[in-house]
């Protein structure tokens, strides 16, 4: 017996995965916009919690955690 998949099932997408990827794109967009428009507020290492303000540290951490979602 063959396990055939109907053509209607092949065209369906998992909306939760699309929503997650959309959210990740927004986080990465936030990080890239910050790098572009806030050049005057450069820090040596944005991942160093001792010298970085909390909002910048959180946005960089989110950007780092977002990359595996696209795999």
Domain carrying residue 50: 14-70
pLDDT category of residue 48 using cuts at 50, 70 and 90: confident
Looking at residue 5, its pLDDT comes to 60
Asked if the structure places residue 1 within a domain, the reply is no
Asked if the structure places residue 2 within a domain, the reply is no
Task: Answer yes or no: are the C-beta atoms of 70 and 25 closer than 8 Å.
Answer: no
Task: Answer yes or no: are the C-beta atoms of 63 and 28 closer than 8 Å.
Answer: yes
Looking at residue 34, its pLDDT comes to 77
- pTM listed for this prediction: 0.61
Number of domains in the chain: 1
Asked if the structure places residue 33 within a domain, the reply is yes
Report, as an integer, the average pLDDT of 47-65: 80
Residue indicated by tokens 């001792």: 50
């Amino acid at each position: 017996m063959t396990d055939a998949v109907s053509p209607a099932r092949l065209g369906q997408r998992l909306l939760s995965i699309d929503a997650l990827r959309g959210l990740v794109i927004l986080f990465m967009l936030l990080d890239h916009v910050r790098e572009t428009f806030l050049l005057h507020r450069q820090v040596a290492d944005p991942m160093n919690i001792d010298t970085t303000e909390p909002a910048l540290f959180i946005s960089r951490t989110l950007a780092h955690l977002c990359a595996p979602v696209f795999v």
